[in-house]
Structure 1
Amino acid sequence: MAKRQARFTPQEVTRDPRLLDHSPELWRDEFGEVACGLLVSAVRCFAANGFHATTTRDICSAVGLSPAALYVHFPSKELVLHAIARIGHERALAEVCAARDGPADDAAVRVRAVVSRFTAWHARHHVAARVCQYELTGLTPQHFEEIRELRRRTTEVFRDVVRRGVDDGSFPPTDVDRVVRSMLSLGIDLVRWYRLDGADAPEQIGEYYADLAIRMLTPPSAPRPPGG
């Protein structure tokens, strides 16, 4: 693949308000302070310029380190991307599993919880999520398969809550796969444009998209189900 030319310098990436989110909190459980700083820098560089146009010098320069500093913590740039993608997908999966397994026994409430938490997570971590969604071509085949399995498990949570609602009569018969793809697309696509300093907080946009999800499952002439 031809290497793209970087559009933004490391200094510009560091100062750009469009690249500010809560991603730094994602790495703290697994990495020390320096490695976390490198991951935050890598997320912003990858989001701004793409994985292939970003160099290890760019990543290190943005946090005031020499290019060799990265290799102390990550043997390759690809392993930086793998860490970002793995942790991001694991955290998003944990969010939807917690929503599905909550105390609510109402189908509409479960769907709302899953969509709301998935959407809010992507808004809160929109820069890291953009990398997780759109820079996966930089992964090795083995690492890509690992991430694809995490994505499959996340999709299955959505299928489960929708299918259960159809099976128990809470929702009318529907094309579950098509509806689930639409729900996932809502939560994922916002990472292209969302900013934390915009009009909607992550939880607000999560609730709004949850409303849209319930409308997908409710015929126009039918009353909306409880919790919807």
Structure 2
Amino acid sequence: MTTTREFELLDSAWAEVSPPAARRMLIAAAAAFAGKGYHATTTRDIAALAGMSPAAVYIHYRTKEDLLFQISRIGHTTSLAVLTGVPDADPVTRLATAVAAFARWHAEHHTTARVVQYELAALTGPHLEQVRVLRRRIEGVLRRMVLDGVRAGVFEAPDVPGATLAVLSLCIDVARWYQPGGRRTPEDIGALYADLVLRMLHAETPQAR
């Protein structure tokens, strides 16, 4: 179930979407898709969650798939910004900071992240290609971070693409199991995953250096 806090996060993250009714519809769709899955969700479900009539969906979005695309586009763009916004630093600190931020984002925004990561196959045509471009950019940012560390001699990764995939998979999976109010906060998860990734790459942690 999506909490009030999650609705607030969605509303803040999607402030660019206007008018407010369109944003409310998008927030409701994200909650419905995350809870029931894309294919099991109807436009009537989305409208009811948004407190609007079923016909209101089509005032702002052409199809249910268009709603999914907008959620996926914004989610991928936001998570990419998390990675590209990491301050420049030595390879170890930079990757640790990026992984912590990326894992934390998947916990804090787990409703969006579940839809973004696990409903990809429902996108079609140009929508799917646009999202794939964003996914390749996300992978590319992390791959360059790993490669920089290998070239600097501080990471061990004979297979850089494979190591990058492992890092991405670790962070993305947070959205599948995370529940608010659990034993670990998003900040705890970020710190834990940053440490795990550095150990995986046989790097000294910043605290040990």
Q: 1:39 Cα shift? A: 1.1
Alignment of 1:38-49 (within 5 A): 38-49=25-36
The corresponding residue for 1:6 is none
Contact 1:20 1:196 in 2 (8 A): no
45-54 or 207-216, larger mean C-alpha shift:
45-54
> What residue identity is the alignment partner of 2:119?
E
Distance 1:197 1:141 in 2: 38
CA change 1:19–1:190 in 2 (3 A) is: farther
Name the counterpart of 1:10: none
Letter in 2 for 1:34: A
Q: Give the superposition deviation at 1:174.
A: 2.5
By percentage of residues, which structure has more helix?
Answer: 2
Q: Is the 8 A contact 2:11 2:23 kept in 1?
A: yes
Partner of 1:54 in structure 2?
Answer: 41
Output the TM-score relative to the length of structure 1: 0.85
User: CA offsets per residue over residues 190-210 of structure 1, 9 Å max, x none?
Assistant: 111101221222122111100
Is the partner of 1:23 in helix, strand or coil?
helix
- Bigger mean CA deviation after superposition, 165-174 or 116-125: 165-174
Which residue of the other structure, out of 184, 188, 197, is the alignment partner of 2:181? 197
* CA positional deviation for 1:173: 4.7
Q: Give the TM-score of the pair, scaled to structure 2.
A: 0.92
**Structure 1 residues 167 and 138, CA gap change in structure 2 (3 angstroms):** same
Within the candidate set 111, 118, 135, 2:95 is matched to: 111
Percent of residue pairs bearing the same amino acid type: 43
Picking from 148, 155, 174, the partner of 1:171 is: 155
The reply to whether residue 120 of structure 1 matches residue 120 of structure 2 is no
Residue 172 of structure 1: how far off its partner (Å): 3.2
Contact 1:118–1:206, Cα closer than 8 Å, also in 2: yes
Alpha-carbon contact 1:20-1:127 (below 8 Å) kept: no
Deviations 1:63-118 (A, max 9, x none): 2211001111111111100000000000000100111xx142x1100110111111
- Is the Cα contact below 8 Å between 1:112 and 1:211 reproduced in 2? yes
Distance 1:138 1:17 in 2: 22
Deviations 1:124-176 (A, max 9, x none): 10011000011122211211111011000000111101101110112235311
Structural RMSD (CA): 1.7
Q: Distance in 2 between matches of 1:57 and 1:173?
A: 49
1:162 corresponding residue in structure 2:
146
Provide structure 1 residue ranges, at least 5 long, that are not aligned to the other structure: 1-15
Give the Cα separation in 1 of the matches to 2:193 and 2:59.
42
Query: Across the two proteins, how many residue pairs are aligned to each other?
Result: 206
Amino acid in the other structure paired with 2:37: G
Which portions of structure 1, spanning 4 or more consecutive aligned residues, are displaced by more than 6 angstroms?
none
